[in-house]
Amino acid sequence: RSSAASDVYKRQKAFNLIPGGVNSPVRAFKSVNREAPIFVKKGQGARIYDEDDNEYIDYICSWGPLILGHNHPKVIEEVKKIIENGSSYGLPTKYEVDLAELIVEIVPSIEKVRLTTSGTEATMSAVRLARAYTGRNKILKFEGCYHGHSDALLVKSGSGLLTDGYQDSNGITDGVLKDTLTLGFGDLEKVENLLRNEEVACVIVEPIPANMGLIETHKEFLQGLRRITEETKTVLIFDEVISGFRLALGGAQEFFGITPDLTTLGKIIGGGYPVGAFGGKREIMDLVAPVGRVYHAGTLSGNPIASKAGFATISYLKENPNIYKELAENTNYLVDNVEKLAEKYGVDVCVNS
């Protein structure tokens, strides 16, 4: 159903004022030939409603943060408690410390953590930290993994770049491109060869690749990465912006029982508000300013409202561990039925259960 409201938004306003009418490319659904974005008015639970009051079941869930759905009462209740106190102070608040404490308690590799405003910032800073810690320049990432949109990580990237048919962004200098090495996900032999022959600061990986369609992770690959990075004194970074607090409470590292040196987080830890984090071994994290000289800063880093919403979300997950079993059961139910329908209508689908 289309009506005056969405027409005004999509044609006269959004497209003229904002590139593609959206503030993040995947919202345009270009790769599935949607003519215009959906403009959301509100969300509740598993549903969203657009500007024309069309109702949708929301499988996007803000691309990850809303593991509890829209407007979960526990999250809203906590946010409401502080939202009238003020929004941001440029000074620390107890809410950041509460969130940090919970993250350190739950994520096996994290002894110290720094909050950021986005996942992009978290991965960008983790890479810089790894370079400073090792004194090496080159980094290794895997083709199709997406780690946000900082220059160094936008090489052979996944997510919107992949679905839109290109994997490298324009506007990145040759120098940066030269320092980002890439290999196919899962190719341990090549990783071993490379790390034994080149000085590499870090290997960054999505332990469950979530930005290039359905690729299975074999535990042996991650175990191999851990072994080789340890032997070559390369920093291993798990980008758990998506898998953190989702695959298991302690993320992929808890699920697979493999501990990286650094971990990046985002999405769920802000409960739907802007946030990110990088953390890991104390001796590495203590190189971050103001203790050390690896600069990371942010006007809204560790924003109190985001921290409170993240704390409420993670606390709820921690207090209701059954949620992960339910999530798996519901996903299997959905996948089974999608598979049945696909078979009935002769559509190819790829399933990993």
226 touching ligand PMP, by CB under 6 A? no
User: Is 239 known to be catalytic?
Assistant: yes
Q: Which residue has the tokens 């339910």?
A: 326
CA distance 216 to 277: 26
- Please give the DSSP secondary-structure letter assigned to residue 135: T
**Selection from 260, 273, 266 nearest residue 228 by Cα:** 260
Single out the catalytic residue among 267, 273, 308, 316. Answer: 267
205 touching ligand PMP, by CB under 6 A? no
276 touching ligand PMP, by CB under 6 A? yes
Single out the catalytic residue among 239, 273, 308, 316. Answer: 239
- Please give the DSSP secondary-structure letter assigned to residue 289: T
**Selection from 152, 150, 207 nearest residue 176 by Cα:** 152
- Please give the DSSP secondary-structure letter assigned to residue 63: G
| Binding residue for ligand PMP, selected from 37, 144, 260, 266, defined by CB under 6 A | 266
Is-contact 131 139, C-beta < 8 A? yes
| Binding residue for ligand PMP, selected from 75, 99, 242, 312, defined by CB under 6 A | 242
User: Is 164 known to be catalytic?
Assistant: no
206 touching ligand PMP, by CB under 6 A? yes
* Among the residue ranges 14-22, 96-104, 107-115, 204-212, the one whose residues contact ligand PMP (CB under 6 A): 204-212
63 touching ligand PMP, by CB under 6 A? yes
HEC string of 78-96? HHHHHHCCCCCCCCCCHHH
CA distance 106 to 306: 18
C-alpha distances in Å from residue 99, one per residue of 253, 296, 315, 333, 338: 19, 19, 9, 33, 37
| Binding residue for ligand PMP, selected from 146, 185, 273, 316, defined by CB under 6 A | 146
179 touching ligand PMP, by CB under 6 A? no
241 touching ligand PMP, by CB under 6 A? yes
| Binding residue for ligand PMP, selected from 21, 43, 119, 250, defined by CB under 6 A | 119
* Among the residue ranges 7-15, 70-78, 113-121, 307-315, the one whose residues contact ligand PMP (CB under 6 A): 113-121
211 touching ligand PMP, by CB under 6 A? yes
CA distance 115 to 102: 13
Residue nearest to ligand PMP as judged by C-beta position = 119
123 touching ligand PMP, by CB under 6 A? yes
Nearer to ligand PMP, 266 or 304 (CB): 266
Q: Which string of DSSP letters, residue by residue, matches 3-36?
A: -HHHHIIIIIIIHHHSGGG-SSGGGG-GGGT-SS
Single out the catalytic residue among 95, 133, 146, 316. Answer: 146
C-alpha distances in Å from residue 141, one per residue of 68, 79, 127, 179, 258: 31, 37, 11, 11, 18
- Please give the DSSP secondary-structure letter assigned to residue 259: -
**x/- binding map, residues 312-331, to ligand PMP, per CB under 6 A?**
--------------------
* Among the residue ranges 27-35, 47-55, 235-243, 304-312, the one whose residues contact ligand PMP (CB under 6 A): 235-243
Q: Which residues are catalytic?
A: 146, 239, 267
By the criterion CB under 6 A, which residues form the site for ligand PMP?
63, 118-120, 123, 146-148, 159, 206, 210-211, 239, 241-242, 266, 276
